[in-house]
A and B are shown apart, each in its own frame.
Chain A
């Protein structure tokens, strides 16, 4: 590599600075964050389970109860986002509130609320899936690939 001495010096300086910054940077409180994620994520799942058991007790099949439960949880995620509570939960719980399906609802409703001022088409419509979009794209891609794999395996 034909790097001249000046560039090498610059790189060395930047590396040294990077070490300094890493030394000074406060570490996130990992244990505390994990505990919050565990408790909040767990509680969200418990609420989901209670809803599902309730639908089963009403006489729905297990599969229908699961669908109804997911739908209810999405509604609750959206509702608590609208009430301005979900972001406070997310600030504490991190992945604990992002990973459950309620977090997905939050990721769609939050930009929809935020960009309402830019109108319904170029605001809400265009921005609503700005965060959830990649999840949907790669989720659909993965499901198609798995479906194809299953199809191929059937004919083997």
Chain B
């Protein structure tokens, strides 16, 4: 006997699709200068936002995004039964410290930059499974806290290569509920960890592209949906290099998502913002979802989207030990039903 709410090996079908009743986004100054400034709820004036360290700022962004999403529906933190969140920092401290303030039952996740889709997937399963009425899914990333953990001190004069990506300073929070009005999360495909032997931490898009293609392929196969089912199929943070590699891989596996296939890392910044290949980080797909995408779906501008957040699962230690970069991608289908 197979599980009743699953199709194929990886895809969860939600029997009563949970409703996205509210969402909020908070982004940094650079993201606020990009093409979507009108879509974000809040744009920070600077990178510290009155805090003493970038780590504290990142945690505050997650916490405030969650509170903002709640306040839009006149809800209190006590109105949510579960918080599912994760981030990029060691021991997912941004989420842990935000959860300390929000003080509701909490599940911490680590999926690197795939966290937005991963947390939505877990939250939706909790709601549809009847374990919770209302769940908060959130994530955040901060450019400078990520830089100091994964790369070099900020003031050090290092040259970036054209394939490198810019970790977004952004946070997104989504509230899922059983019933209500708003776009619904109809199904989700859990990704497998895929490693194609890439070792270049300055070219993460290339390390993640095979994982994104694998998950998207599985999603269409298992749901049986036609390739042009979604108005937009959007990956998390493959950026320009990863996106062009993914397009090539799609041709090879005989699947071309249409009519629109793009990437949050490509969309988040405009071409003149000096971000090389494009954006990355948990916040990249989180703020694009909670900024423009959900507004467009809720407003009827788009019928549905497939958000495929992508994550590179290495650490600075594994990079120094010359390990290759494993990657993952989770897909969530958001639609007006």
Q: Which A residues, 69 to 118, have Cβ-Cβ distances below 8 Å to chain B?
A: 81-82, 84, 86-94, 97-98, 103, 106-107, 109-111, 113-115, 117
* Number of A residues, CB within 8 Å of B: 39
Closest B residue to A118 by beta carbon equals: B53
Q: How far is the CA of A25 from the CA of B204 in the complex (A)?
A: 11
Q: Which A residues, 11 to 35, have Cβ-Cβ distances below 8 Å to chain B?
A: 13-15, 17-18, 20-21, 24-29, 33
Q: Which B residues, 139 to 161, have Cβ-Cβ distances below 8 Å to chain A?
A: 148, 152-161
Task: Tell me which residues across on chain A come within 8 A of B241, comparing CB atoms.
Answer: 24-26
Asked if B228 is an interface residue, CB under 8 A from chain A, the answer is no
Q: Are A114 and B154 in contact (CB under 8 A)?
A: yes
Closest B residue to A107 by beta carbon equals: B156
**With A14-B196, A25-B163: A81-B155 Cβ-Cβ less than 8 Å:** yes
**With A17-B197, A25-B206, A117-B53: A91-B163 Cβ-Cβ less than 8 Å:** no
Q: Are B157 and A131 in contact (CB under 8 A)?
A: no
Q: Are A106 and B155 in contact (CB under 8 A)?
A: yes
Q: How far is the CA of A91 from the CA of B160 in the complex (A)?
A: 7
Q: Are B156 and A110 in contact (CB under 8 A)?
A: yes
**With A26-B162, A131-B152: A103-B157 Cβ-Cβ less than 8 Å:** yes
Q: Are B153 and A98 in contact (CB under 8 A)?
A: no
Q: Which B residues, 148 to 184, have Cβ-Cβ distances below 8 Å to chain A?
A: 148, 152-163
B residues near A, CB below 8 A? 52-53, 148, 152-163, 196-198, 203, 206, 210, 241, 244-245, 248-249, 277
Contact pick for A18, options B156, B163, B197, CB 8 Å: B197
Closest B residue to A40 by beta carbon equals: B157
17 additional A-B pairs beyond A91-B158, A110-B152, beta carbons within 8 Å, are A14-B196, A18-B197, A20-B248, A24-B241, A24-B245, A26-B163, A28-B161, A28-B162, A29-B162, A81-B155, A94-B159, A106-B157, A110-B154, A110-B155, A110-B157, A114-B148, A131-B153
Task: Tell me which residues across on chain B come within 8 A of A25, comparing CB atoms.
Answer: 162-163, 203, 206, 241
Q: Are A27 and B162 in contact (CB under 8 A)?
A: yes
**With A26-B162, A90-B159: A21-B198 Cβ-Cβ less than 8 Å:** yes
Q: From residue B165, how far is it (CB to closest CB) to chain A in Å?
A: 13
Q: From residue B236, how far is it (CB to closest CB) to chain A in Å?
A: 18
**With A17-B210, A18-B197, A114-B148: A24-B248 Cβ-Cβ less than 8 Å:** yes
A-B contact pairs, 20 of them (CB 8 A): A20-B245, A24-B241, A25-B206, A25-B241, A33-B159, A86-B155, A87-B155, A87-B156, A88-B157, A91-B159, A93-B159, A94-B159, A97-B157, A98-B157, A106-B155, A109-B155, A110-B154, A113-B153, A113-B155, A117-B52
Report the 9 A-B pairs with minimum CB-CB distance, sorted nearest first: A90-B157, A14-B197, A110-B156, A94-B159, A114-B153, A110-B155, A26-B162, A110-B153, A21-B206
Closest A residue to B163 by beta carbon equals: A25
Task: Tell me which residues across on chain A come within 8 A of B148, comparing CB atoms.
Answer: 114
Q: From residue A73, how far is it (CB to closest CB) to chain B in Å?
A: 15
Q: From residue A94, how far is it (CB to closest CB) to chain B in Å?
A: 4
Task: Tell me which residues across on chain A come within 8 A of B156, comparing CB atoms.
Answer: 81, 87, 90, 106-107, 110-111, 131
Closest A residue to B54 by beta carbon equals: A117
Q: From residue A78, how far is it (CB to closest CB) to chain B in Å?
A: 10
Closest A residue to B276 by beta carbon equals: A26
Q: From residue B241, how far is it (CB to closest CB) to chain A in Å?
A: 6
